[in-house]
Structure 1
Amino acid sequence: MVPPSSAKTLPPQYMVDLYRTLADGTYSEQKIRHHGANTARSFFNKGSSEAVDRFRFEISDAVPNREEIVDAEFHFFIHFEARWKHSKGHFVQIQLFEGNQDRLLESRLVSAYSSGWEVFRIIDSVRRWIAQPARNQGLKVQVLDSSGKIWKQQRVYQLQSFQKSILIVFSKDVHASTIHSSSLTLNGELNNYHEGTPIHENSIESIEKTSPSRREHNITRRTRSAVQNSQCARHELKVDFEKLGWSMWIISPKWYNAYICAGACAFPLGQNQRPTNHATIQSIVHELGLASEVEAPCCVPTELHPVSLLYFDEHMNVVLKQYEDMIAVGCGCQ
């Protein structure tokens, strides 16, 4: 099946805020600042709704082998009702366990007068769960009052009633062939989409490799006319995800300007056309007709920037991923 629209399944606010931070920043700032990560995945609790102090996250099939996990965070929202603030002291203790109190991961004191997210770093646990899924017994949160007494589940439930706890896993691509051969996964993505099978989240990576006929279709008649009568230059290319049929699973952005490099690389090549030395020699050989099989240099991107996409994967987890080489920033003859 194809994932439902984001209007029916809301992404975690943390993921939305992280996406906005990347989208609003300059090119040099558009990095997920977690040890070189280019991907962030969010997971909601899949445990029993009755066990309000236990959390289970299904992650074994969500992170592909070609990615390295570089960080993992458990986000736990804490809120105290007014009736508890004065009767239980100024501080409470939060203890986080892996499994059923088998392994204490962290214990911290928090103010009983504040509300907000508590973030626990649990990268070692997540790596164990990925390597050995059978060891994934989830997390347990235990709250103690100032006297050291464990709060009842009903009181812990009060802490969780306002926000859903989530697991965020940060990763990065480690195989160069995957990073640079982006069409490898895009083709799989499109095939799965058109066959009506679940979308595979690691495969949106190459809209700039859309077929020439589709690129042509997205250029207005006015732009097309200008391209045919101009030298190599950059022109607008609006990629609308709704028109591509991808709006059901891409949350943001709704569209972006990929730009396209088009126009003639006519002899003699000027410096404004940013020719390589090879393109200069190729242009001369073509002009003089020294080799019939040698074509004129082509107008191609000389600089490409990434785009961050926020979307649903096949398991309905929300993923934020930075895809390289998505926007043509400069054009030249090569």
Structure 2
Amino acid sequence: MVALGPWLPLAWLLSAAGALPRPQPGPRDEVLAAALRRLREVFDIEELPPDVLPRKKPPQFMVDLFNKVADANGITRAPGLLQGDVVRSFEDRVHVDRYHFYFDISAMEKGEQMLKAEFRVFKLKRTRVSRPADTKHFCRVEVYELLESGSEPHKKHLIASRLLSLYTEGWEVFNVTQTVSKWVGNSSSNHGFLITTTHVFNSRTEHNLVKFAKSQDALQESRNALLVLFTNSNKRRSSSFVPSSTKPEMNPAETDASHALRETQITESSNESMSRRRRSAAVPSTASQVTTCHRRELYVDFRAIGWSGWIIYPSGYNAFYCRGTCLFPLGENLNATNHATVQSIVHTLKLSQDVSTPCCVPDELKSLNLLYFDDKENVVLKNYKDMVATRCGCH
């Protein structure tokens, strides 16, 4: 059951503490639960993570990626910066073997389309040792897919190979798309990766001279190995706007849920001050004083919803909404369509009794990005289309 957090009536909170008998859910509680279910559908969330997750530090790569594709409010900076609409990061689950890496990718949703998979591992700097001048400063690093678990020597398949300097450190990124795609199709084939390093000195092969940051290294926590998947979610719906004049009627429960959600979860901020409202209320309204179609603030606060325990960035966002009249004549600043112009003329001349004025609706929308923990504490970056109204118009 979805927790209603701060929206629960006082009686519910007291009953939870044992002060009162627990009341039965009322109509408003059902409406709020329905509103939350609809909100989960919008954000494409099947199961909510626990209300309070261990607030471990998210991988810096994921934070940097969020900041690259979105501003501080999560609004997309420019379309096309993100490959796919979902980026999932999985941390290494092997804490003993320094050269074995395993990632549990079971949190991937059914139907997600794999685009690219990256194995990201941080190579530590090797301490320089005194050797003859002809010592080679490079070693060969090879990444293998393990074909079975719990056996020595390992059965493995070579994925990638490259030369690396012994005396530098930094992130190494390997493309493992083909291998991970196989794991997605057959989870039992996932036994992880094995890294080997070899260095030839005086015709003598030395193994495992290079170390990689592992999760057991407390000082190297920010350098833990990652498996990063770039995917497309096939669940994303096309959300073309339907003007209110042509919108299908909602049943009463849906209508109540929408109003409850708007009243309790979302803070509406008007551009006009209270004093201005009072003055305008005292003056008889005329056609010139009617507020024309414009954009107003509509802030969605994830703390109020009870989602701040697992959403990393942002803490909320301004979705904006459109409000106002579309009376004839429609000025250029109203971004009116030709159809809306004709409709406003027909309405003004009363050529048809059934024709209303055009609707003030968003005619330009931007996407929103969320960085969050899933229910297995993996960090996910997801892009949601058509979430922020950036311009209003008469349609």
The TM tier, using the shorter chain, reads: 0.7 to 0.9
Equivalent AA in structure 2 for residue 165 of structure 1 = A
Residue 31 of structure 1: aligned partner: 80
Instruction: Judge conservation of contact 1:80–1:159 (CA < 8 Å) in 2.
Output: no
**1:250-329 alignment runs, 5 A limit:** 250-329=311-390
Q: CA deviation at 1:27?
A: 5.8
**What RMSD over aligned residues (CA atoms) do the two structures have, in Å?**
3.1
Residues 84-106 of structure 1, C-alpha deviations (whole Å, 9 max, x = no match): 68698411221100014420111
Residue 130 of structure 1: aligned partner: 184
Residue 180 of structure 1: aligned partner: 238
Measured at CA, do residues 215 and 78 of structure 1 come closer, stay the same or move farther in structure 2, by a change above 3 Å? Answer: same
Q: CA deviation at 1:22?
A: 1.2
Q: CA deviation at 1:223?
A: 4.0
Unpaired runs of 5+ residues, structure 2, are: 1-47, 147-153, 242-256, 281-288
**1:1-334 alignment runs, 5 A limit:** 2-3=49-50, 8-24=55-71, 29-34=78-83, 37-47=84-94, 49-65=95-111, 67-82=112-127, 89-99=136-146, 100-147=154-201, 148-151=205-208, 156=211, 161=217, 162=220, 163-174=223-234, 178-181=236-239, 211-212=258-259, 214-215=261-262, 218-220=267-269, 223=272, 225=277, 229-334=290-395
Measured at CA, do residues 108 and 221 of structure 1 come closer, stay the same or move farther in structure 2, by a change above 3 Å? Answer: closer
State percent identity of aligned pairs. Answer: 37
Equivalent AA in structure 2 for residue 236 of structure 1 = E
3-state DSSP of counterpart to 1:62: coil
Unpaired runs of 5+ residues, structure 1, are: 184-209
Counting matched residue pairs gives: 299
Equivalent AA in structure 2 for residue 54 of structure 1 = H
3-state DSSP of counterpart to 2:309: coil
Deviates more, 1:241-250 or 1:284-293: 284-293
TM-score where L is the length of structure 2? 0.67
Q: Larger Rg: 1 or 2? A: 2
Residue 193 of structure 1: aligned partner: none
Q: CA deviation at 1:213?
A: 5.4
Deviates more, 1:253-262 or 1:283-292: 283-292
Residues 152-175 of structure 1, C-alpha deviations (whole Å, 9 max, x = no match): 8xx646677422101000012456
3-state DSSP of counterpart to 2:344: helix
Q: CA deviation at 1:239?
A: 2.1
Q: CA deviation at 1:260?
A: 1.3
Deviates more, 1:238-247 or 1:143-152: 143-152
Q: CA deviation at 1:283?
A: 2.0
3-state DSSP of counterpart to 1:145: strand
Deviates more, 1:237-246 or 1:282-291: 282-291
Equivalent AA in structure 2 for residue 277 of structure 1 = N
> 1:159 and 1:221 mapped to 2: Cα distance?
51
Residues 131-150 of structure 1, C-alpha deviations (whole Å, 9 max, x = no match): 11111111111122334322
> 2:188 and 2:129 mapped to 1: Cα distance?
38
Residues 41-95 of structure 1, C-alpha deviations (whole Å, 9 max, x = no match): 1001123x22221111111441430x32111100010112425686984112211
Measured at CA, do residues 158 and 294 of structure 1 come closer, stay the same or move farther in structure 2, by a change above 3 Å? Answer: closer
Instruction: Judge conservation of contact 2:51–2:307 (CA < 8 Å) in 1.
Output: no
Q: CA deviation at 1:24?
A: 4.3
> 2:365 and 2:371 mapped to 1: Cα distance?
20
Measured at CA, do residues 156 and 28 of structure 1 come closer, stay the same or move farther in structure 2, by a change above 3 Å? Answer: closer
Instruction: Judge conservation of contact 1:93–1:146 (CA < 8 Å) in 2.
Output: no
Equivalent AA in structure 2 for residue 235 of structure 1 = R
